[in-house]
Homo-oligomer: A and B are copies of this chain.
């Protein structure tokens, strides 16, 4: 299994001169196996369950690295902490309702006209991985 992945994250790391440590491997797994967007603290306590030699700073530093390598994406839902998501599971954006707090996914396609415009008018290549948009949801709009 896992044959369908384009490239093993471990491979991707070592190709770029990074080292595959147990910490990184387990953090990567935690993000990948998470059913939903997962926080740094959650990753920390989850990994610690099987591998007690881990520091929270390492979690943050690893997530920063994985983010730069585009292996994970970061979302801020306005909870006072940030959440992470495996990039391999596909991109999508979020609509967060400021009234009821509901979070809904939006397909990337909704943003193509925006990125096209930014590219055409400003020659700016937008990096919209996990964008969060605040506002009022359908339910609260009634």
List chain A positions with a Cβ less than 8 A from chain B. 95, 97-98, 104, 106, 110-111, 113-114, 117-118, 121-128, 131, 133-138, 141
- A122 to B: closest C-beta gap in Å: 6
Establish whether residues A117 and B122, one from each chain, have CB atoms under 8 Å apart when the complex forms: no
Within the oligomer, what is the number of copies of this chain?
2
The CA of A9 and the CA of B113, in the complex, are separated in Å by: 37
Tell me if B124 and A95 are in contact (CB < 8 A): yes
Asked whether B113 lies within 8 Å of A141 as measured between CB atoms, the reply is no
CB distance from A35 to the nearest CB of B (A): 23
> How far apart are A104's CB and chain B's nearest CB, in angstroms?
7
> Complex Cα distance A141/B118, Å?
13
| Closest CB pairs A-B (n = 9) | A123-B138, A126-B135, A127-B135, A125-B136, A114-B114, A125-B135, A95-B124, A127-B134, A113-B113
